[in-house]
Structure 1
């Protein structure tokens, strides 16, 4: 195969109904120019120049991104966009085939002509957007990012849901970046954290999208709107999303929230924590680096401390840090920022004091993302007083618990069983408790970081000792059941 950079820029390439003017970086379908981004055009140019041959993924990435380190998903997204734009070839197959384990191949016959008279067409503008520049790579999210990228243009409305610090905004922005070339009228980030009143939402949306006549201007636009941080405006967001999807048939919406919007047609994707090493021993650095939580810890530590290397003797500490921080990307990033001062072993020793330890965050981030406490404050302060009380008292459970156990320990004249069940379920829907299903039993569990946060609240309320005693008495009663069955159903 010739060098991938051996391109004759004076040539015109013809295939199917298309004419590809290389010098002008233009593809015509008859007289109609196809709108394609620069990266997609570069990929297509390489494939068409080597029609019939297989071009490896590595070679394509090296050609299109010669000075950058990018994930393979970038290439897959652009290939998918090319397939959508070109449709099927004369034989009913896509023009570009994926050759498993090898790469991609352009399979249609290609004719090369010398360039003739320049073609005068409307200039194809770069995609419009207001996305912030990404300063660090996204770790451990390729699978879920790829899933959203594939589904969103079809489903039109998806919501990323998860607890504080799980990385919802990071994933949403990465999806938006990868879909820039797909949406003709742009990709727009609308951060709702900066407004408090539901009545402000439409005006804020119009300002961000630079709409002169309100959201009615979106009716004919082929665009993606990212609604970030919807949890405190759920009802208003639900109504606005319903209206937009009905009135703007080419609009897609990606929302982030700590609970679903429950709007019509919503596809909810709960964001998992990064993959944490199991309690069993890690036998090599390579094995540890197979877990995305460790990958993030190491990459961010290297960014702060030149020459940082994960050593064999560090594996236990690294695993414990990732486990105690629940695989939460924000918590791990904040911990990594302290490694140059404390080293991994020192960081591990300080985890019982995690909120003080992780209070120094990213100065350039919005306040709720600067440190772990701020991220949890954002959720906690939006709970009702009764929800806050229940969350505090549940913190005496240091393992997974059932609703029966919660009722047995914290119910009272105000928190009657029916009311308590409803509140626990609401807290789970808000991502403050995680839900586990097994053997036909539903259990609830705190993330370590969330439990530490609300346990501190319970202590300051003056009721910690009371509910610790109630918890202990409940466990003793459960152990004394005559048939040996522990009705409490706590699990490690």
Structure 2
């Protein structure tokens, strides 16, 4: 058994062909660094310091996540990543073993060496990314993350599109993490939420990439890297021209953009980011069944971070479904609601859903202002609409379920809002992710997310026109042809 519990930060630990430089938090095989995340390195250090002994799962979780409540699955994911990195089990070599009912043990011989005597690796310390540290696992996004990871190196330019609060940045950062090993020059995130002036975009890019001021894009000509252009929606035209120039100047560069609407640039592939999955009414049979839905998984994870004793019970299933459904499966809204669990409990949250913007006020203090609360994010989008777009968004909010263009014309068009204008504006609102568009039996229908509709309805009420357009909507419904059996079923489903 090794005695390594008093090692200091300058120590280098050797096992097999690997060297673990504790001070630099770096594991190398020969002269090649292994791409290991921070949590995996934390787990490795605990196991190596207790080499030859069994460390229980609870002890590992307590040391690696001291201020969070996490599921055992998180630990297993990182253990699997370590085993893959060390090619555990191949050629008879075994480093980490699972001791059933007890925990994990690092079983390979470990020897210590002074840092000065270790392999020189200064050149390996050059940062290969500037990704933010992720404090929580990514929930419910395996399919879209996997799709982007497979497609990006081939397609080169993809835009992740969705409404505010849907988690575009979270998904983009996770994709970048998984592609770190693919790109020789690493992955780099450029957060455009930090600027408002299109003239600052290139300077912000070169500053983020640590290039000389005024450097030409040709300086990236041999770059084999992934560039994440995050939050492009308010700088669309400048981002479009920048991306097109970058793809020509750097043939081995891949770009992942996030935006509330497509950039409409040459060669762009668009990936729509859907909401998290909300349980169906028929899926309330058990806690285990409901926990299979990603919206519930996120809520429970966030609630436990606020209240460690939180547990979902059979009598809570209807309430948790209603909360997640009313919040449209939006990760930001779910996180903000779960943050109120210690003050309101599930029943209180359910009762407050009608005042969702008052409910979702405990925001992320470290985020830029427009990302701190859902209302701030919607305010930011709304203020960038033209006056006619704002009017149309307000008036469409009287529709309680999906609607067609003809229905919209019948309810909200007027002498100053002609049908041709309305069609154009509604298409623009759909592009901006403020309306969703779907095809049903060859007919295009539009719908709101609940949160967006509530926001637009408040704006319509403040304008003094709510009663007028509610009456027009009621008249339209009264005059509409009697729905078919299929239409009734669709309305009931909604």
With the length of structure 1 as denominator, give the TM-score of the two structures.
0.78
- The question of whether the paired residues in 2 share the 8 Å contact of 1:392 and 1:457 is answered with yes
- CA distance, structure 2, for counterparts of residue 279 and residue 454 of structure 1: 27
Query: Residues 38 and 171 of structure 1: is their aligned pair in 2 closer, same or farther, counting only changes over 3 Å?
Result: closer
Q: How does 1:319-468 map to 2 (within 5 A)?
A: 319-468=321-470
- SS of 2:125's equivalent in the other structure is coil
- CA distance, structure 1, for counterparts of residue 266 and residue 480 of structure 2: 44
- CA distance, structure 1, for counterparts of residue 362 and residue 19 of structure 2: 51
For residue 268 of structure 1, report the CA deviation from its aligned partner.
1.0
Which whole-Å deviations, capped at 9, do the CAs of 1:143-175 have from their partners, x for residues lacking one? 211221222222221111000110001111112
- CA distance, structure 2, for counterparts of residue 435 and residue 367 of structure 1: 29
- The question of whether the paired residues in 2 share the 8 Å contact of 1:274 and 1:328 is answered with yes
Aligned residue number for residue 35 of structure 2: 37
- The question of whether the paired residues in 1 share the 8 Å contact of 2:283 and 2:290 is answered with no
Query: Residues 312 and 120 of structure 1: is their aligned pair in 2 closer, same or farther, counting only changes over 3 Å?
Result: closer
Query: Residues 78 and 383 of structure 1: is their aligned pair in 2 closer, same or farther, counting only changes over 3 Å?
Result: farther
- SS of 1:280's equivalent in the other structure is helix
For residue 433 of structure 1, report the CA deviation from its aligned partner.
0.7
- CA distance, structure 2, for counterparts of residue 431 and residue 379 of structure 1: 10
- CA distance, structure 1, for counterparts of residue 249 and residue 166 of structure 2: 33
Query: Residues 180 and 460 of structure 1: is their aligned pair in 2 closer, same or farther, counting only changes over 3 Å?
Result: same
Aligned residue number for residue 124 of structure 2: 124
- CA distance, structure 2, for counterparts of residue 78 and residue 144 of structure 1: 24
- The question of whether the paired residues in 1 share the 8 Å contact of 2:129 and 2:186 is answered with yes
- SS of 2:393's equivalent in the other structure is helix
Query: Residues 416 and 140 of structure 1: is their aligned pair in 2 closer, same or farther, counting only changes over 3 Å?
Result: same
- The question of whether the paired residues in 2 share the 8 Å contact of 1:74 and 1:178 is answered with no
- CA distance, structure 1, for counterparts of residue 187 and residue 482 of structure 2: 61
Which whole-Å deviations, capped at 9, do the CAs of 1:409-432 have from their partners, x for residues lacking one? 111112111111111111111110
Aligned residue number for residue 253 of structure 1: 255
Question: Comparing 221-230 with 401-410, which one deviates more in the overlay?
Answer: 221-230
Aligned residue number for residue 216 of structure 1: 218
- CA distance, structure 2, for counterparts of residue 77 and residue 198 of structure 1: 41
- The question of whether the paired residues in 1 share the 8 Å contact of 2:303 and 2:338 is answered with yes
For residue 310 of structure 1, report the CA deviation from its aligned partner.
0.9
- CA distance, structure 2, for counterparts of residue 314 and residue 152 of structure 1: 41
With the length of structure 2 as denominator, give the TM-score of the two structures.
0.78
- The question of whether the paired residues in 2 share the 8 Å contact of 1:127 and 1:180 is answered with no
- CA distance, structure 1, for counterparts of residue 141 and residue 487 of structure 2: 39
Which whole-Å deviations, capped at 9, do the CAs of 1:193-237 have from their partners, x for residues lacking one? 222221111111111111112433222222221111111111111
For residue 405 of structure 1, report the CA deviation from its aligned partner.
0.4
For residue 479 of structure 1, report the CA deviation from its aligned partner.
3.5
Query: Residues 119 and 307 of structure 1: is their aligned pair in 2 closer, same or farther, counting only changes over 3 Å?
Result: closer
Query: Residues 311 and 393 of structure 1: is their aligned pair in 2 closer, same or farther, counting only changes over 3 Å?
Result: same
- The question of whether the paired residues in 2 share the 8 Å contact of 1:127 and 1:184 is answered with no
For residue 280 of structure 1, report the CA deviation from its aligned partner.
2.9
Q: How does 1:187-336 map to 2 (within 5 A)?
A: 187-212=187-212, 213-280=215-282, 282-336=284-338
Query: Residues 439 and 108 of structure 1: is their aligned pair in 2 closer, same or farther, counting only changes over 3 Å?
Result: farther
Moved over 6 A (4+): 20-25, 71-82, 118-122, 483-487
The gaps in structure 1 that reach 5 residues or longer are 1-7, 12-19, 47-62, 83-95, 97-103, 110-117
- CA distance, structure 1, for counterparts of residue 203 and residue 130 of structure 2: 17
- SS of 2:281's equivalent in the other structure is coil
- SS of 2:255's equivalent in the other structure is strand
- CA distance, structure 1, for counterparts of residue 119 and residue 365 of structure 2: 50
Query: Residues 21 and 356 of structure 1: is their aligned pair in 2 closer, same or farther, counting only changes over 3 Å?
Result: closer
- CA distance, structure 1, for counterparts of residue 157 and residue 80 of structure 2: 22
Aligned length: 431
- CA distance, structure 1, for counterparts of residue 120 and residue 485 of structure 2: 84
Which whole-Å deviations, capped at 9, do the CAs of 1:250-290 have from their partners, x for residues lacking one? 21111100011111221211001000011236121111111
- SS of 1:479's equivalent in the other structure is coil
Does residue 139 of the first structure (1) align with residue 139 of the second (2)?
yes
- SS of 1:124's equivalent in the other structure is helix
Question: Comparing 365-374 with 277-286, which one deviates more in the overlay?
Answer: 277-286
- SS of 2:148's equivalent in the other structure is helix
- The question of whether the paired residues in 1 share the 8 Å contact of 2:162 and 2:259 is answered with yes
For residue 396 of structure 1, report the CA deviation from its aligned partner.
0.4
- The question of whether the paired residues in 2 share the 8 Å contact of 1:162 and 1:168 is answered with yes
Query: Residues 486 and 191 of structure 1: is their aligned pair in 2 closer, same or farther, counting only changes over 3 Å?
Result: same
Aligned residue number for residue 155 of structure 2: 155
Which whole-Å deviations, capped at 9, do the CAs of 1:328-347 have from their partners, x for residues lacking one? 00000010011111110111
- CA distance, structure 2, for counterparts of residue 400 and residue 279 of structure 1: 20
Aligned residue number for residue 3 of structure 1: none
Query: Residues 21 and 286 of structure 1: is their aligned pair in 2 closer, same or farther, counting only changes over 3 Å?
Result: closer
Query: Residues 353 and 198 of structure 1: is their aligned pair in 2 closer, same or farther, counting only changes over 3 Å?
Result: same
Which whole-Å deviations, capped at 9, do the CAs of 1:434-484 have from their partners, x for residues lacking one? 112111111100000000000000000111111111111111111379x99
- The question of whether the paired residues in 1 share the 8 Å contact of 2:169 and 2:230 is answered with yes
